[in-house]
Chains A and B, each alone.
Chain A
């Protein structure tokens, strides 16, 4: 539920009148003008005075925390995810994974600047404002140091750049997560083309549907100005659907379209460095505090709640995986514990700001049991080659977490319930456990279907045009040399 509203001068008007937003440079004059215009024409919304955020509504504590949180989320991609994935592949493909993650982050950041932010977090200039935003803010048009983005509290705002930056880091890591599903067997150039297209047609619309809303000060005047899933009341605190289910399903489709690695099931393909994987997994955990505790958009008690839930759910998941392995395999492995940690992080993401730490622990443990089953049993039975378990951990863990959010948000079990932002000042609504869980399931289903269709079309399109796979010889030699002309290790 990272939400957003964009305002600025034209802002008050923005949700009411399409044309306003963009150009105000003189904050004072423009704000006055916007307020005047809004007031003059808002007769139908007569009960609510036009609202214009001002610089006084920005809290430096929030700004400081959100900039730090943004940097922490970037840390999750490079170096954390790159090292986590890199350690899990064979030495001949180490460099290729590092390069894929690094480049995807760079490309995604530029795409976010160019049209991603506008597509995800505006609702004007689009024929389907519930599904995807328009291009009003493409290349960050109209975004400057005098514009603001809403938080979850009335009259509390962030500089719009802060919100753009924070959300940019999410757009960077999500496509990078996908590559683990078909690591060791994909050509670099088609992968980067896929990244641009997938962000455009899968990530931005889903982010818009789940997270876009007008903000607490605006929604009561324009209760329909929100994304589709937000409007349904789906809860996703930090990206269970947007990031993990989205990436996990895309990864599964990719690994099915591309096919298994040469030698899959006949050759041994153990990780080349579990030390790297440990370093990556640990850095993921640290970065995830920015991911989850930053998603409250404010430096307050809910940020702290998301932080502790991210801590304990993850700990529970790491312990659970080790215990399961002790029972099933008689030996707890480091990779198992690290996998448990990532599972816990994934599962608590949508619930981080809603659960009580006690139920967060249960959620982490339950998700681990399910993910362990998928990674060790379902994958082997169905024989798909999800190299680094992107589907088994991110999609499955994300689905358990997203549906589990409907349970752990229940105030009767210590959860935070839901807030009715259309009734100023925003206040808690009566929690309907069954209804909320059903809403979560609908949100999960919508995400799976949307990203599944988009990913299938994109992967098949690339496969039958420029091709996705290197030759068998190139794959045998390793992507480091054949795709990038250098080795990870010269010894």
Chain B
């Protein structure tokens, strides 16, 4: 199993959710987050005073999937969330040791 963490632009969330649903992802966790990458934030000007905002708002999507679905999920997020401009985000993939469904006690792929 893989645990996939994607940091994406907030306005791309709905598209990503739909696309992942279409390829069989059963659930996801979404968090509003702030951060920066190579873009290093942006500059705002209030009445002539410059403020560099180094934390930009992003959305963090967390998905746990079976190994055979992982590549497809990564590819889908990469394609859907891309705008080809700076600040589109990153996808991180972790090995997932186990998963348990609390209601039934099922474990492994069947718990996803």
Interface residues of A (CB under 8 A from B): 268-271, 329, 331, 333, 335-336, 339, 372, 375-377, 379-380, 389
Contact with A along B43-55 (1 / 0, CB 8 A): 0111111011100
Which listed residue (A268, A372, A380) contacts B51, Cβ 8 A? A268
Interface residues of B (CB under 8 A from A): 44-49, 51-53
Bound form: Cα–Cα A268–B46 in Å: 11
Enumerate 28 A-B pairs (CB-CB under 8 Å) in ascending A order: A268-B51, A268-B52, A268-B53, A269-B51, A270-B44, A270-B46, A270-B51, A270-B53, A271-B46, A329-B45, A331-B45, A333-B45, A333-B46, A335-B46, A335-B47, A336-B47, A339-B47, A372-B48, A375-B47, A375-B48, A376-B47, A376-B48, A376-B49, A377-B48, A379-B48, A380-B48, A380-B49, A389-B47
Q: Quick one: closest B residue to A376, CB to CB? A: B48
Give me 12 other A-B pairs in contact (C-beta within 8 A), A268-B52, A270-B51 excluded. A268-B53, A269-B51, A270-B44, A331-B45, A333-B45, A335-B46, A339-B47, A375-B48, A377-B48, A379-B48, A380-B48, A389-B47
- Give the top 5 A-B pairs by smallest Cβ distance, nearest first: A376-B48, A268-B51, A270-B51, A329-B45, A270-B46
Bound form: Cα–Cα A268–B49 in Å: 10
Bound form: Cα–Cα A145–B98 in Å: 86
Shortest Cβ distance from residue B9 to the other chain A in the assembled complex, whole angstroms: 21
Q: Quick one: closest A residue to B51, CB to CB? A: A268
In the bound complex, residues from chain B placing their C-beta under 8 Å from that of A376 are: 47-49
Shortest Cβ distance from residue A452 to the other chain B in the assembled complex, whole angstroms: 24
Bound form: Cα–Cα A269–B52 in Å: 10
Q: Quick one: closest A residue to B45, CB to CB? A: A329
Bound form: Cα–Cα A380–B48 in Å: 9
Shortest Cβ distance from residue B42 to the other chain A in the assembled complex, whole angstroms: 12
Bound form: Cα–Cα A375–B47 in Å: 7
Bound form: Cα–Cα A140–B48 in Å: 46
In the bound complex, residues from chain B placing their C-beta under 8 Å from that of A331 are: 45
Bound form: Cα–Cα A336–B44 in Å: 13
Shortest Cβ distance from residue A324 to the other chain B in the assembled complex, whole angstroms: 10
In the bound complex, residues from chain B placing their C-beta under 8 Å from that of A380 are: 48-49
In the bound complex, residues from chain B placing their C-beta under 8 Å from that of A336 are: 47
In the bound complex, residues from chain A placing their C-beta under 8 Å from that of B45 are: 329, 331, 333
Bound form: Cα–Cα A331–B49 in Å: 14
Bound form: Cα–Cα A336–B46 in Å: 8
Q: Quick one: closest B residue to A338, CB to CB? A: B47
